[in-house]
Amino acid sequence: MNKKHQSGAVLAVSLMILLMLTVLTVTSNRTVLMQNKMADATFQGQVSLQVAESAIRDAENYVDTLSTVSTFDADGSNGLYSQGNGPNNVFIDTVWTGLTNGGAPKVITSNAYATQGYSTTAEYFIENLGEMALEDEDLSGVNMLGYGQTTGGGDVNAFRIVARATGNSGSAERIVEVHYGKRL
Protein backbone atom coordinates (compact mmCIF):
# COMPACT_ATOMS: atom_id res chain seq x y z
CA MET A 1 0.00 0.00 0.00
CA ASN A 2 1.15 3.47 -0.76
CA LYS A 3 1.84 5.82 2.12
CA LYS A 4 0.07 8.64 0.37
CA HIS A 5 -3.29 6.88 0.47
CA GLN A 6 -3.48 6.21 4.25
CA SER A 7 -6.30 8.20 5.83
CA GLY A 8 -6.05 7.29 9.60
CA ALA A 9 -9.17 5.12 9.71
CA VAL A 10 -7.50 2.63 12.06
CA LEU A 11 -6.75 5.40 14.58
CA ALA A 12 -10.33 6.68 14.51
CA VAL A 13 -11.78 3.18 15.00
CA SER A 14 -9.30 2.48 17.83
CA LEU A 15 -10.24 5.70 19.62
CA MET A 16 -13.97 4.86 19.34
CA ILE A 17 -13.40 1.40 20.83
CA LEU A 18 -11.29 2.92 23.62
CA LEU A 19 -14.07 5.44 24.38
CA MET A 20 -16.68 2.66 24.58
CA LEU A 21 -14.47 0.60 26.91
CA THR A 22 -13.95 3.63 29.16
CA VAL A 23 -17.70 4.27 29.39
CA LEU A 24 -18.34 0.59 30.23
CA THR A 25 -15.63 0.64 32.91
CA VAL A 26 -17.00 3.78 34.57
CA THR A 27 -20.54 2.40 34.51
CA SER A 28 -19.51 -0.93 36.02
CA ASN A 29 -17.51 0.86 38.75
CA ARG A 30 -20.60 2.85 39.71
CA THR A 31 -22.61 -0.37 39.90
CA VAL A 32 -20.00 -2.01 42.12
CA LEU A 33 -19.90 1.02 44.42
CA MET A 34 -23.69 1.03 44.70
CA GLN A 35 -23.72 -2.68 45.51
CA ASN A 36 -21.07 -2.13 48.20
CA LYS A 37 -23.19 0.63 49.75
CA MET A 38 -26.29 -1.58 49.69
CA ALA A 39 -24.39 -4.50 51.28
CA ASP A 40 -23.00 -2.22 53.99
CA ALA A 41 -26.46 -0.79 54.71
CA THR A 42 -27.86 -4.32 55.02
CA PHE A 43 -25.03 -5.29 57.36
CA GLN A 44 -25.48 -2.17 59.50
CA GLY A 45 -29.21 -2.83 59.71
CA GLN A 46 -28.58 -6.38 60.90
CA VAL A 47 -26.05 -5.19 63.49
CA SER A 48 -28.58 -2.62 64.75
CA LEU A 49 -31.31 -5.23 65.00
CA GLN A 50 -29.07 -7.67 66.89
CA VAL A 51 -27.92 -4.99 69.33
CA ALA A 52 -31.50 -3.78 69.91
CA GLU A 53 -32.63 -7.34 70.59
CA SER A 54 -29.71 -7.81 73.01
CA ALA A 55 -30.80 -4.64 74.81
CA ILE A 56 -34.30 -6.12 75.08
CA ARG A 57 -32.76 -9.17 76.79
CA ASP A 58 -30.87 -6.84 79.17
CA ALA A 59 -34.17 -5.14 80.06
CA GLU A 60 -35.96 -8.48 80.54
CA ASN A 61 -33.15 -9.59 82.85
CA TYR A 62 -33.58 -6.36 84.80
CA VAL A 63 -37.34 -6.92 85.09
CA ASP A 64 -36.68 -10.47 86.31
CA THR A 65 -34.77 -9.02 89.28
CA LEU A 66 -37.68 -6.81 90.39
CA SER A 67 -39.70 -7.58 93.49
CA THR A 68 -41.65 -4.30 93.40
CA VAL A 69 -42.37 -1.52 90.91
CA SER A 70 -41.65 1.33 93.33
CA THR A 71 -38.68 2.57 91.24
CA PHE A 72 -40.98 3.39 88.29
CA ASP A 73 -42.17 7.01 88.22
CA ALA A 74 -44.04 9.48 86.01
CA ASP A 75 -40.85 11.32 85.01
CA GLY A 76 -39.13 8.19 83.76
CA SER A 77 -36.14 8.68 86.01
CA ASN A 78 -33.38 6.31 84.98
CA GLY A 79 -35.49 5.03 82.08
CA LEU A 80 -38.23 3.52 84.28
CA TYR A 81 -41.72 4.91 83.59
CA SER A 82 -44.85 4.30 85.64
CA GLN A 83 -48.09 3.20 84.04
CA GLY A 84 -49.25 5.48 81.21
CA ASN A 85 -46.20 7.78 81.34
CA GLY A 86 -43.85 6.17 78.80
CA PRO A 87 -43.17 7.93 75.49
CA ASN A 88 -45.87 7.21 72.93
CA ASN A 89 -43.96 8.20 69.79
CA VAL A 90 -40.62 6.39 70.00
CA PHE A 91 -39.60 7.71 66.57
CA ILE A 92 -38.91 11.22 67.92
CA ASP A 93 -35.21 11.84 68.55
CA THR A 94 -35.82 13.66 71.82
CA VAL A 95 -36.96 10.38 73.39
CA TRP A 96 -33.48 8.95 72.86
CA THR A 97 -31.09 11.89 72.99
CA GLY A 98 -29.80 14.03 75.77
CA LEU A 99 -30.51 14.35 79.44
CA THR A 100 -33.65 16.03 80.69
CA ASN A 101 -35.43 16.56 83.99
CA GLY A 102 -32.50 18.07 85.82
CA GLY A 103 -29.93 15.64 84.48
CA ALA A 104 -31.77 12.37 85.06
CA PRO A 105 -31.44 10.10 82.03
CA LYS A 106 -34.73 9.12 80.41
CA VAL A 107 -33.25 5.95 78.89
CA ILE A 108 -30.91 3.19 79.98
CA THR A 109 -27.77 2.43 77.99
CA SER A 110 -27.27 -1.27 77.38
CA ASN A 111 -24.10 -3.25 77.74
CA ALA A 112 -21.59 -2.78 74.92
CA TYR A 113 -21.61 -5.43 72.20
CA ALA A 114 -18.57 -5.99 69.98
CA THR A 115 -19.23 -6.57 66.29
CA GLN A 116 -16.67 -6.43 63.49
CA GLY A 117 -14.18 -4.58 65.68
CA TYR A 118 -16.71 -1.97 66.82
CA SER A 119 -18.31 -1.59 70.22
CA THR A 120 -22.01 -0.83 69.91
CA THR A 121 -24.61 0.00 72.54
CA ALA A 122 -28.35 0.54 72.53
CA GLU A 123 -30.72 2.63 74.60
CA TYR A 124 -33.92 1.35 76.11
CA PHE A 125 -36.66 2.27 78.54
CA ILE A 126 -39.14 0.20 80.51
CA GLU A 127 -42.73 1.21 81.21
CA ASN A 128 -44.78 -0.54 83.87
CA LEU A 129 -48.18 -1.34 82.32
CA GLY A 130 -49.72 -2.47 85.60
CA GLU A 131 -51.25 -5.75 86.63
CA MET A 132 -52.43 -8.09 83.92
CA ALA A 133 -55.94 -9.46 84.10
CA LEU A 134 -55.58 -13.23 83.89
CA GLU A 135 -58.20 -15.89 83.94
CA ASP A 136 -58.11 -18.13 86.98
CA GLU A 137 -55.33 -20.63 86.62
CA ASP A 138 -56.43 -24.22 87.04
CA LEU A 139 -53.29 -26.20 87.66
CA SER A 140 -54.96 -28.97 89.64
CA GLY A 141 -53.92 -31.56 87.07
CA VAL A 142 -50.26 -30.57 87.21
CA ASN A 143 -48.01 -32.04 89.89
CA MET A 144 -45.05 -29.68 90.13
CA LEU A 145 -43.92 -30.33 93.70
CA GLY A 146 -40.17 -30.62 93.91
CA TYR A 147 -39.54 -29.86 90.24
CA GLY A 148 -37.42 -26.81 89.53
CA GLN A 149 -38.17 -23.28 90.56
CA THR A 150 -41.74 -22.15 91.07
CA THR A 151 -42.76 -18.51 90.89
CA GLY A 152 -45.37 -18.84 93.61
CA GLY A 153 -48.41 -16.66 93.86
CA GLY A 154 -48.74 -12.99 93.24
CA ASP A 155 -49.90 -10.64 90.57
CA VAL A 156 -48.45 -10.59 87.09
CA ASN A 157 -47.26 -7.16 86.01
CA ALA A 158 -46.87 -6.30 82.36
CA PHE A 159 -43.98 -4.17 81.12
CA ARG A 160 -43.42 -2.39 77.84
CA ILE A 161 -39.76 -2.47 76.80
CA VAL A 162 -38.57 -0.34 73.89
CA ALA A 163 -34.97 -0.50 72.64
CA ARG A 164 -33.19 1.54 69.97
CA ALA A 165 -29.85 0.84 68.31
CA THR A 166 -28.09 2.62 65.46
CA GLY A 167 -25.38 0.11 64.52
CA ASN A 168 -21.70 0.75 63.97
CA SER A 169 -22.31 3.55 61.49
CA GLY A 170 -24.77 5.42 63.70
CA SER A 171 -27.26 5.70 60.84
CA ALA A 172 -28.94 2.28 60.65
CA GLU A 173 -31.63 2.81 63.28
CA ARG A 174 -33.70 -0.11 64.54
CA ILE A 175 -36.39 0.18 67.21
CA VAL A 176 -37.79 -2.94 68.87
CA GLU A 177 -40.77 -2.97 71.24
CA VAL A 178 -41.85 -5.95 73.33
CA HIS A 179 -44.28 -6.62 76.15
CA TYR A 180 -43.01 -8.72 79.03
CA GLY A 181 -44.79 -10.13 82.06
CA LYS A 182 -43.39 -10.87 85.52
CA ARG A 183 -45.11 -12.30 88.55
CA LEU A 184 -44.23 -10.07 91.50
Give the separation between CA 100 and CA 34, rounded to whole angstroms: 40
What does the pLDDT look like over 103-144, one tens digit per residue? 445 788 887 777 667 778 888 999 999 887 666 555 555 454
Residue 147's pLDDT band (cuts 50, 70, 90): very low
Nearest to 77 by CA among 108, 111, 121: 108
Q: Please give the pLDDT value at position 153.
A: 57
Q: Is it the case that residue 77 has pLDDT exceeding 50?
A: yes
Q: pTM above 0.75?
A: no
What does the pLDDT look like over 12-27, one tens digit per residue? 888 899 999 998 888 8
Q: Please give the pLDDT value at position 152.
A: 54
* Burial readout 127-151 (b: 16 or more C-beta within 10 A, e: otherwise): bbbeeeeeeeeeeeeeeeeeeeeee
**pLDDT, mean over the chain:** 80
Domain ranges of the chain: 58-184
